[in-house]
Chain A
Amino acid sequence: MKFFPLLYGLFVLAMALALVASSKPGTVETLTVDRLNLSLAPGDRPVLVFKSEVPVDVAVFRQRDFERGRPPVIALPQVLEARLAMPTDVQESYVVIASRPVSVEVRPGRVEETTQKIRRGEDVERAYVKFVGDRGTYQLIPRVAPGVVLKGRAEGRICLMTEAEFKRWRESGAVAGECFTGEFQKKFEDFADVYLVAVEPGVVEYAVYATLEMLLALGTCG
């Protein structure tokens, strides 16, 4: 995964540049930064909105993982635009690192509000990403569940791979899974991690939605 060493290098650069901002989910502001510190309270669910004219690598680390050199929670290569929901049930601090200055807006929100919307039958966007899909670029969509919906559009060709298919692809280059060109939509029926892999170049955009069916499958209150 060539992405991570690049990010760590850029982190050092970012520290040197000290182009650092801190944000809390209570305010809506657009910043242009390559590092953002985000502090969340239990029950917060802000949405981070990234925009860039040129492809930018974005990674979100838990503060503690960042300090210990551990992998990020979210890693998105070659992003042009992204909206990432960041729900938390605990006090948590995140560090957002970008490979170049990027416009970031923090839209406040609460987990409870989102849960109520889903219970009313509304689908809620968990993530939207528009990225430049060079051949071999991939993105992990973690912890999908029955009822989760993926919608998107690919200029080139992308394949949705299970963990086993992704592993085979990385080892042998064998393309597997469900592949799409143009508009695509998928409703998941399993609990799994899945990968979106660009096999032919082109801009890709996708959104992941939480649904009532997902909420009823997950059972989050227990």
Chain B
Amino acid sequence: MAGLIIGAAVGATAFPKKETVTQTTTVRETVTHTVTQTVAQPAASPSEVPTIRDSDFTWKEAGKTNIVVVGAGPAGATFVKTLAAMPGARDKVTITVIEQNEVWISGPSHEDFVIGNRRLEEVMGNVKGVVTDPKMVRLVQARVTSIDPANRVVYTNLGKTSYDLLVLAPGIVLADWEIEGLSAVQNHHAWDPGHALALGAAIRRLESGNIVFGVPPAPYKCPPAPYEVTLLAADLVKELGRSGRVKITLVDANANPQPPPKARIFKEWLDKMGVEYVPNNRVVRVDPEKREVETDKGEKFKFDLLSVLPRNFAPGFVREAGLAKQFTEVDLATFRTKAFDDIYAIGDHILAPYTKSAYAANTQGKRLAEVIAERLGLGVTPTTKVYNICWSYVNRNELSVIEVQWEPDGKTSEGYPKVGEPTAANKQRRHSWEEGLLKSLYA
């Protein structure tokens, strides 16, 4: 009931009741579908948002392309801000951003929360920051429930919207359902800020016993993170003087630590920190009573504290729309989905060689803005190449670095990847980079 009241209140704020005269017209875009769309009042002032009418909050103005963006993380937010900043965009598009969270907490810092290197409030951005021009961009805080690509409709918990072009940047979901018994135990990983904090607290509480970390088969979001979190946990245990009493095991579905160019560095540090590294073993089952995980090879490991990352998937509404099996299938140069030429997809949920990371998502957002601008006739040619830089902890103070750039066909550019050995100077570089990214997205 409380949720209903809050939902109604949020809905009333986002979509104030107002009489709107609507008309219906048929629009043929340069896409494969011909659709009938509702046209709302064109002259919205900066402070106004379109009204819900018949559960519909479509923002369509005559002569403009109605772009709906799902997700305001690094991929979606960058796309919106880049496109909105292009000369002439204001006359060509309306952009509705649908995002369920009010704030974005920087993903790369989740590891910092485990060990207490950073606080949440230091790396938090308000997603309202994506609305740089209210005449062109609006933010709808809602949760997407399904997509109807054939009729170009996105359904949310606060009504539905039609679109001319849809950009999907919702991130990934963790396939908890694939690991039998996992839901019956506490499993704190670093892919959620709250879990990351809980993991750090649980490590501090553990006087003795076994910590088991689990890594899924690649690809997954932030490839170095499971190894970083394991090493940070080992560092914390060492700081607490419990190295002899707390055993750390890292069960890895992959043959070597990820990503491959950093495998040697991680392996050396795992050995150095006394972590038992068990590659080629995927966690498939958890026995809540015996407090034991079992792998696909039949190996069993006792745990007092569990931190298993399940496989990553595109969200259910993307898969149910026929856009993805595990990840969303796209053309690598344009990010246009293989299933529908009026739907684009960027970020961690796509099937691509690009690292599933904040920076790679950021550059995908830029490139897609160029692709869409070219399609809309804004005189732009796509030139941005997808790029990633990651600083990875090997202990509380030292981080290695990797840089990769990809050509539009998905192959890595000449001279990449570049890998740097762990240094203390990389810690400040990482923090400065993260702050810069946050400001560019949400300031």
**Residue A143 lies at the interface, judged by CB distance under 8 Å to chain B:** yes
Chain A residues with Cβ under 8 A from B353's Cβ? 215-221
**Residue A182 lies at the interface, judged by CB distance under 8 Å to chain B:** no
- Chain B positions 293 through 324: 1 when the CB is less than 8 Å from some CB of chain A, otherwise 0: 00011110000000000010000000000000
In whole angstroms, how far apart are the Cα atoms of A77 and B270 in the complex? Answer: 33
**Residue B213 lies at the interface, judged by CB distance under 8 Å to chain A:** no
Interface size class on chain B is 35 or more
Instruction: Determine whether the beta carbon of B279 is less than 8 Å from that of A62.
Output: yes
In whole angstroms, how far apart are the Cα atoms of A88 and B267 in the complex? Answer: 12
Contact check: which of A73, A90, A190 meets B263 at CB < 8 Å? A90
Contact check: which of A42, A87, A218, A222 meets B264 at CB < 8 Å? A42
Chain A residues with Cβ under 8 A from B299's Cβ? 70-71
Chain A residues with Cβ under 8 A from B354's Cβ? 219, 222
Instruction: Determine whether the beta carbon of A219 is less than 8 Å from that of B256.
Output: no
**Residue B388 lies at the interface, judged by CB distance under 8 Å to chain A:** yes
In whole angstroms, how far apart are the Cα atoms of A190 and B353 in the complex? Answer: 15
Closest to B223 in A: A222
- Chain B positions 257 through 272: 1 when the CB is less than 8 Å from some CB of chain A, otherwise 0: 1111101100100000
Q: Is the interface of B mostly helix, strand, loop or mixed?
A: loop
Chain B residues with Cβ under 8 A from A113's Cβ? none
Partner-binding segment picked from B79-87, B110-118, B204-212, B411-419: B411-419
**Residue B402 lies at the interface, judged by CB distance under 8 Å to chain A:** yes
B52 to chain A, nearest CB (A): 40
- Chain B positions 273 through 299: 1 when the CB is less than 8 Å from some CB of chain A, otherwise 0: 000001110100000000000001111
Chain A residues with Cβ under 8 A from B351's Cβ? 146, 217
Chain A residues with Cβ under 8 A from B355's Cβ? 219, 221-222
Contact check: which of B264, B356, B357 meets A90 at CB < 8 Å? B264
Number of contacting residues on A, CB 8 A? 28
- Chain A positions 184 through 222: 1 when the CB is less than 8 Å from some CB of chain B, otherwise 0: 000001110100000000000000000000011111111
Chain B residues with Cβ under 8 A from A87's Cβ? 255
Contact check: which of A42, A73, A217, A220 meets B259 at CB < 8 Å? A220
**A42-B263 in contact given A71-B297, A216-B410, A222-B388 (Cβ < 8 Å):** yes
In whole angstroms, how far apart are the Cα atoms of A173 and B281 in the complex? Answer: 25
Chain A residues with Cβ under 8 A from B261's Cβ? 89, 221
Instruction: Determine whether the beta carbon of A143 is less than 8 Å from that of B326.
Output: no
Instruction: Determine whether the beta carbon of B296 is less than 8 Å from that of A193.
Output: yes
Chain A residues with Cβ under 8 A from B282's Cβ? 193
Which residues between 117 and 172 of chain B lie within 8 Å of chain A, taking CB atoms? none
**A221-B259 in contact given A191-B217, A216-B332, A216-B352 (Cβ < 8 Å):** yes
- Chain A positions 116 through 154: 1 when the CB is less than 8 Å from some CB of chain B, otherwise 0: 000100000000000000000000001100100000000
Chain B residues with Cβ under 8 A from A89's Cβ? 256-257, 260-261, 263-264
Chain A residues with Cβ under 8 A from B326's Cβ? 190-191
Chain B residues with Cβ under 8 A from A218's Cβ? 218-219, 353
In whole angstroms, how far apart are the Cα atoms of A193 and B178 in the complex? Answer: 13
Instruction: Determine whether the beta carbon of A119 is less than 8 Å from that of B259.
Output: no
Chain A residues with Cβ under 8 A from B429's Cβ? none
**Residue A172 lies at the interface, judged by CB distance under 8 Å to chain B:** no
Chain B residues with Cβ under 8 A from A111's Cβ? 260
B338 to chain A, nearest CB (A): 12
In whole angstroms, how far apart are the Cα atoms of A62 and B332 in the complex? Answer: 37
Chain A residues with Cβ under 8 A from B416's Cβ? 221
**A90-B257 in contact given A218-B353, A219-B352, A222-B223 (Cβ < 8 Å):** yes
Which residues between 383 and 418 of chain B lie within 8 Å of chain A, taking CB atoms? 388, 390, 402, 404, 410-412, 416-417
In whole angstroms, how far apart are the Cα atoms of A70 and B332 in the complex? Answer: 41
Chain A residues with Cβ under 8 A from B253's Cβ? 143
Closest to B224 in A: A222
Chain A residues with Cβ under 8 A from B245's Cβ? none
Chain B residues with Cβ under 8 A from A71's Cβ? 297-299
15 new A-B contacts, CB < 8 A, other than A190-B326, A216-B411, are: A42-B263, A70-B299, A71-B299, A87-B255, A89-B260, A90-B263, A91-B267, A143-B254, A216-B332, A219-B354, A222-B259, A222-B354, A222-B360, A222-B388, A222-B404
Q: Top 5 nearest A-B pairs by Cβ distance?
A: A222-B355, A89-B263, A219-B353, A90-B267, A222-B259
Interface residues of B (CB under 8 A from A): 217-219, 223, 253-261, 263-264, 267, 278-280, 282, 296-299, 311, 325-326, 332, 351-357, 360, 388, 390, 402, 404, 410-412, 416-417
* Subset of 9 A-B contacts with CB under 8 Å: A62-B279, A71-B298, A71-B299, A89-B261, A142-B280, A191-B326, A216-B411, A218-B218, A222-B355
